[in-house]
């Protein structure tokens, strides 16, 4: 008795598949996709008889992985790429970035900057980003236009900006945007108090209440520099992390960004509370903030994801670079060559970030029932040869230029290294206009 093949939208066949869950490498396997979801992962020979396919993509020299998750971005700041280099964090912020933002940030700035960031990230295999910036409605429009998944921060500060006048205004505006996108399949939200040095206790308490009521993660810079900790001790008689713990923010819904300077006791606190860390190694090095104790974090069971930070302080939104640098730093600082194997770096760049965002049941691994957020990387080029371990090559050999195809929710956003986004010329013109405006620096 013959079985009628099941109709599906898409079958992606690859020489290798790294599903992340479980941590295995599958050869000559196919991923079946229907209505934006992964429905099966099976050998190619079986897939061809089991499924009637709307479209078949054959990737004979590729590894197929889950889409990369960028756990910390300021996407619109792509328009400030290279604006102020070779400066420490507070000088960079106070004398260059904040004045430029005061002069230029607007809904159009955020729309164009986020479109630019999404284009760069998609071409580099990133399918989801967690953002902290202003005008989240403009950022949502940009992500939707490019077909990218985004978790948008309801950003909060104690001082006024071109976006909002006070903490009530920041929160109310962000919550209204969230309401407008509640049912959109690509857009989610988190609460994003900027940092302990820019947010008051009363505001943190309100954010905690909102997090518990709305089941939203909290995304906050923490322990990025030694200066931040020293100022907190002077003003509050406790470290920023201790202050957030005292206020009740640490827990499974908390994502601490950077986490460069933690004591062993503070690492134990993060582990005990189930908090997450967004590790941004390139930005931390470029701003001379330091090197996060990632090997110790892993030993203690703290969940990590990787972030690029904004292009103004990186200056790339390149998750391949973050994977490699994070793995090398973990090895070099710990003196342990196995501190972060390639398979673990891939897991943190995918499932680790997804779990931190509360999206681990939807994205981050190639599992039936999850969204078809996928990335194909070509490994047969001369610079990738020979290839003994494809996952090692992902982290230590191949770069974002090896990404050939990207799917988000089953839709092809990058096909043979080309964006499906139709208005690339318009985006290039917009970026050129912003460069002209930003080159006329605001007066300090």
Q: What is the DSSP string of 227-266?
A: HHHHHHHHHHSS-HHHHHHHHT--STTEEEEE--S--HHH
Q: What is the domain-level CATH number for residue 15?
A: 2.30.40.10
User: Do 390 and 304 sit in the same domain of this protein?
Assistant: no
Q: What is the pLDDT of residues 125-177, one digit of tens each?
A: 999 999 999 999 999 999 999 999 999 999 999 999 999 999 999 999 999 99
User: Do 219 and 280 sit in the same domain of this protein?
Assistant: yes
Does 175 reside within a domain?
Answer: yes
Tokens 């972060």 sit at which residue?
340
User: Do 222 and 244 sit in the same domain of this protein?
Assistant: yes
pLDDT mean over 179-207: 98
Task: Look over the chain and give the mean of its residue pLDDT values, rounded to a whole number.
Answer: 96
Taking a C-beta distance cutoff of 8 angstroms, is the pair 23, 67 a contact?
Answer: no
pTM of the prediction? 0.97
Banded pLDDT at 89 (limits 50, 70, 90): confident
Does 435 reside within a domain?
Answer: no
pLDDT mean over 431-442: 84
pLDDT mean over 97-108: 94
User: Do 168 and 299 sit in the same domain of this protein?
Assistant: yes
Tokens describing residue 225 = 């520099």
User: Residue 259: which domain range?
Assistant: 68-356
Alpha-helix residue ranges (DSSP H) falling in 35-166: 44-50, 89-92, 98-104, 107-123, 136-146
- 251: exposed, middle or buried (Cβ count in 10 Å: 0-12, 13-18, 19+): middle
Does 421 reside within a domain?
Answer: no
Banded pLDDT at 442 (limits 50, 70, 90): very low
pLDDT mean over 30-47: 98
Q: What is the pLDDT of residues 378-400, one digit of tens each?
A: 999 999 999 999 999 999 999 99
User: Do 126 and 35 sit in the same domain of this protein?
Assistant: no
User: Do 169 and 97 sit in the same domain of this protein?
Assistant: yes
User: Do 240 and 199 sit in the same domain of this protein?
Assistant: yes
Vertex 254 angle, CA 119 and 139, to 5°: 25
């Amino acid at each position: 008795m013959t079985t009628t093949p099941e109709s599906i939208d898409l079958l992606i066949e690859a020489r290798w598949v790294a599903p992340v869950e479980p941590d295995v490498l599958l050869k000559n396997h196919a991923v079946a996709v229907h209505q934006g979801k992964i429905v099966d992962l099976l050998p190619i020979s079986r897939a061809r008889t089991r499924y009637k396919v709307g479209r078949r993509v054959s990737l004979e020299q590729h590894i197929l992985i889950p889409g990369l998750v960028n756990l910390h971005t300021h996407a619109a700041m792509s328009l400030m790429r290279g604006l102020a280099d070779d400066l420490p964090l507070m000088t960079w912020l106070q004398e260059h970035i904040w004045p430029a933002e005061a002069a230029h940030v607007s809904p159009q700035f955020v729309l164009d900057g986020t479109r630019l960031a999404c284009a760069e990230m998609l071409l580099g295999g990133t399918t989801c980003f967690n953002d902290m910036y202003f005008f989240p409605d403009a950022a949502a429009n940009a992500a939707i236009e490019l077909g990218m998944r985004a978790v948008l921060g309801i950003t909060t500060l104690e001082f006024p900006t071109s976006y909002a006048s006070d903490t009530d205004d920041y929160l109310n505006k962000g919550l209204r945007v969230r309401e407008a996108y509640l049912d959109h399949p690509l857009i989610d939200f988190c609460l994003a108090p900027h940092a302990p040095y820019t947010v008051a206790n009363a505001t943190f308490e309100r954010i905690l209440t909102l997090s518990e009521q709305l089941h939203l993660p909290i995304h906050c810079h923490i322990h990025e520099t030694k200066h931040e900790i020293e100022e907190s001790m002077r003003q509050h008689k406790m470290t920023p992390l201790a202050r957030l713990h005292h206020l009740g923010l640490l827990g499974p819904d908390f994502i601490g960004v950077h986490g460069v300077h933690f004591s062993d006791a503070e690492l134990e606190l993060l582990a005990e509370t189930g908090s997450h860390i967004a590790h941004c190694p390139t930005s931390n090095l470029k701003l001379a903030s330091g090197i996060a104790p990632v090997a110790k974090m892993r030993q203690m069971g703290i969940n990590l994801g990787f972030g690029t930070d904004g292009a103004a302080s990186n200056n790339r939104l390149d998750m391949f670079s973050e994977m490699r640098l994070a793995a090398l730093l973990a090895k070099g600082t710990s003196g342990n060559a196995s501190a972060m194997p390639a398979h673990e770096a891939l897991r943190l760049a995918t499932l680790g970030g997804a779990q931190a965002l509360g999206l681990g049941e939807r994205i981050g691994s190639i599992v039936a029932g999850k969204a078809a957020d996928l990335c194909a990387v070509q490994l047969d080029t001369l610079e990738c040869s020979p290839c003994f371990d494809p996952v090692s090559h992902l982290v230590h050999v191949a770069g974002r230029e090896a990404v050939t195809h990207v799917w988000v929710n089953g839709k092809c956003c990058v096909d043979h290294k080309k964006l499906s986004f139709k208005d690339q010329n318009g985006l290039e013109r917009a970026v050129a206009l912003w460069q002209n405006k930003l080159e006329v620096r605001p007066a300090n």
